[in-house]
Structure 1
């Protein structure tokens, strides 16, 4: 793997690497694999299934820009009129505008897209707008049990999920990406939401990725 860039952030080191043979990019956070460009099926499913419950979804919130797969899927949905992306790391936004732009299809240029450089946990607790979202898609970590930084755990506890639910319009759906099944997280969702679905997505190696869908009744 070729190291393209290495950046220090307040939360540690982020590294962008590329496989010279395949052209695959990956992002490493503090020595831990975070994401890559090899597939993207589960990231796209995160968006399509979150929006499926609404006949005319307009407003979507994406937590985590990543390599751009989820954003590309959102931009492809012509029903959406507003797509807000929260990304905490400015360098990830920079990489999306340079090395990774083709994986989102240059979706950042879409006039419906607004990117906010902000911490999602704090934003939901204090700064979320009064107009609520038809769907919220979270792809912040490798999963509720495998957070990139310790502070992210607050997004997956009762308080964090309650804040996410409050930002949903009635009839809206919260979708959460995970690198593995987390039964305890599923149980917490079941206590806070009216309906929960679990969608496994097979991967080439290891456990399936999992998309959790938590629906708020109308």
Structure 2
């Protein structure tokens, strides 16, 4: 998710507005940039995407070189930067994208956001799962080499209350169980969370935080952690 567009005063056009599983979702266009709004809260836009791309690249780089064709689960389709980056990387094997909002999926399949992910849907590695990520993680028994999560503005600023369960001790234990030994968890945030970083250390090893400068405000961050053998 990116906050760069919140300071732009260009005229805004509502492209689509729908009621989703957890309230209203809106796609807006501001100049050449698109924005996604959920229940009145700005989530992300197409102005930059550096940290969203780094989310999957950092996870791949953190994996052991001996892992061939690793599987990645991307939590949250958003404006599509993470998915497009994963598909552009031939080293990834299976690429699973989990998105709960039918509107967001439609915008990428046949709408205005298709320009950002059109290559992904023809790639045989891509598997789209329309589901709530919390429910999917807790009910699906699949394991992946990397989990790249970007469904909130960070562990301390969730879009819905239920999402908070991903970042507590029980949620981290479940995420760990969905990783192969040696796998990597990568979590996007709009700001650093010292409490979440400390919580990660109770379940993972080699915990670190990458900071990505943004035009204004605090840097975006990516929390990285390994599941040991």
Normalised by the length of structure 1, the TM-score is: 0.95
Which position in structure 2 is the counterpart of 1:50?
Answer: 59
Which position in structure 2 is the counterpart of 1:182?
Answer: 193
- One of 108, 120, 123 as aligned partner of 2:121: 108
Answer with 99-108 or 28-37: which moved more. Answer: 99-108
- Unpaired runs of 5+ residues, structure 2, are 1-11
Tell me if structure 2 keeps the 8 A contact 1:42–1:201.
yes
Tell me if structure 2 keeps the 8 A contact 1:26–1:35.
yes
3-state SS of paired residue (2:47): coil
Partner Cα separation in structure 2 for residue 128 and residue 202 of structure 1: 36
Normalised by the length of structure 2, the TM-score is: 0.90
The question of 1:83 aligning with 2:92 is answered no
Partner Cα separation in structure 1 for residue 43 and residue 192 of structure 2: 17
- Aligned residue pairs, count: 214
Partner Cα separation in structure 1 for residue 103 and residue 190 of structure 2: 23
Partner Cα separation in structure 2 for residue 101 and residue 87 of structure 1: 15
3-state SS of paired residue (1:195): strand
Off by >3 Å, runs of 4+ in structure 1: none
Tell me if structure 2 keeps the 8 A contact 1:87–1:93.
yes
Give RMSD over aligned pairs.
1.1
Partner Cα separation in structure 2 for residue 93 and residue 197 of structure 1: 32
Partner Cα separation in structure 2 for residue 105 and residue 199 of structure 1: 29
- One of 20, 28, 33 as aligned partner of 1:24: 33
- One of 122, 125, 128 as aligned partner of 2:138: 125
Which position in structure 2 is the counterpart of 1:135?
Answer: 146
Which position in structure 1 is the counterpart of 2:4?
Answer: none
